Amino acid sequence: MLFKNTISNLARLRQVAEVLLRYGFEDVVTTTPLRRLVGQKRRLRWRQDDERPVFETTRWERIRLIIEELGPTFIKLAQALSNRADLLPEALIDELEKLQSNVPPFATAEARQIVEAELGRPLGAVFREFDDVPLGSASIGQVHRARLHSGEEVVVKVQRPGVREKVESDLRLLHELVRLTGNFLRNQGLANPQDVIDAFERSMTKELDYTQEARAMEQLRQLYESYTSFYIPKPYRELSTAKVLVIEFVAGCKITDTAQLLAWGLRPETIAETGMDVYLTQIFEFGFFHADPHPGNVLVRPDGTLVLIDFGMVGKLTKQQKYAFAGVFIGMARQDARSMAVSFRRLALSSDIPDMRAFENDLSLLIEDFAVLDVQDMRMSDLADALQGIIYKYKLQVPGAIFLILRALVILEGIGRVLHPRFNTFEFVRPYGAKILREQYSPENILSEAEYTGTQLLALLQTLPADLRQIMRKASKGELRLKVELSGYASLLRKADQLVSRTVLALLTVGTLLFAGLSLLGHYPPAMPYYRGLPVVTWYALGATALLVLLLTLPQRPRRE
């Protein structure tokens, strides 16, 4: 199967290798199996080419340029990775955030054909009007305004023709690239490249199915059905499929359009505060949130109601993740580095921090940096960068939703500062942190945790006798085997091996030197040859001693694993 995929992707793989070479990434090609895809003439050309203006840019800029040239799927992957500060350095993330998947719209005739094929009836039977000029387009689909026969205005999101096949082909290519360059990527610090591609594949599979977006909208509509200051458009599930999504049209202006807000008699400061409250409610109360709150996705109606659109990216937190994330902010507010460290470890999916003191010390320095600032001088973007830097440094595997939240809070802070001259994200987060703390230690939650622990303990007690019986049976038959694997001792064992080798060599040197001295006292037959007054056997012993001394003084080369 791998061979078949390699053959089918060969032309595209060769293109990837050529692009990497063009932007100065010879090491990625020459140290991986990709080098076999580059012809001999091309190899000679890149060796003889001394003029490389591409090196006037940084390595991170060249990575962005490569991604832009490779197309929409790679851009989507890079945009997803720009939210993963635990995997990539900050300088690269800054470059990936510049990526824009600007794709021209496809023909309206094709959009009409797709809608008719998906709904199984003529366009005129569903819509009274269908605007030929799309409202917007992206790499996955484009949006048209329309009107139902009932008179309701809607927007119709239509998937690009052939985009599923293109994405699936590129995903196969990405799997193949990881197979070919996996060792190189791991040596560069990306510990689990295959897991990254698997997660991206799941994300893209969801994005290619518009019913997932409709389901997310319905969930949030139910959670906010009693709110009067916030609204989510209604999806028409009966008119939606995996490739077509029909949503209620909502008129409004962008949240950052202060001139229009003032013309409607609305206070921009109130709009900013409402928007932040809505988002913090999603994160800290519901644990289910819209993950892409850029100004184009947040509208304001003339009556001041906030409207969220485009639910292609949503995030979720479990109850325990929500408590742990809030604990990071609470520990920071209390200037308690140890509490922050504990919350981080609870938040991490898996963490192996070899030096907890160093970890707590870094968190303490972070607290000190922000403790001396006036509230108005504090920036969510600075805190997000600092937290992401610590996560990257200690390779903490935290849920991807955490990075989506940090990114969303930074975007919201930018919006807030446009609307509100004294806007400060921390002032809004603080009461939610206290509320989460009360919820975590409420009698209801403690009882719920006790019930869960009791259930787990009961399950253990139920299976323990059978497990013990099986262990005893294997032990009595001599079939019980223990497998012990020591990790982290390879370097120590290598050093011990080198020390033993050099000790043996030193003893041999001393032994041959002693033999050379004692050989002078020996009584030899007349046939023994002499040189410069010394028996030849003595010269042999001195020569062996000199050779051993030379071996001792030479530096030892590190042994490869």
Residues serving a catalytic function are 292
Strand positions, DSSP E, 483-539: 530-531, 534-535
Terminal CA-to-CA distance of the chain, rounded, Å? 30
Query: What sign results for the dihedral spanned by CA atoms 56, 57, 63, 69?
Result: negative
β-strand pairing of 244-248 with 153-159: antiparallel
Tokens matching residue 526: 């007349």
Supply 446's token pair.
């403690």
d(CA 189, CA 395): 10
- Work out whether the CA dihedral 549, 550, 552, 553 comes out positive or negative: positive
Please identify which residue in the block is written with the tokens 């000679």: 44
Query: Angle between the 163-187 and 10-22 helix axes, to the nearest 10 degrees?
Result: 50
For residue 468, with 0-12 CB atoms within 10 Å meaning exposed, 13-18 middle and 19 or more buried, which class applies?
exposed
- Grouping H, G, I as helix, E, B as strand and the rest as coil, residue 211 is helix
Residues in the chain: 561
- Give the residue among 82, 216, 103, 247 at the shortest CA–CA distance from 163: 103
Q: Using an 8 Å Cβ cutoff, are 92 and 61 in contact?
A: no
Burial class (CB in 10 A: 0-12, 13-18, 19+), 208: middle
* DSSP run (H or E) holding 233: none
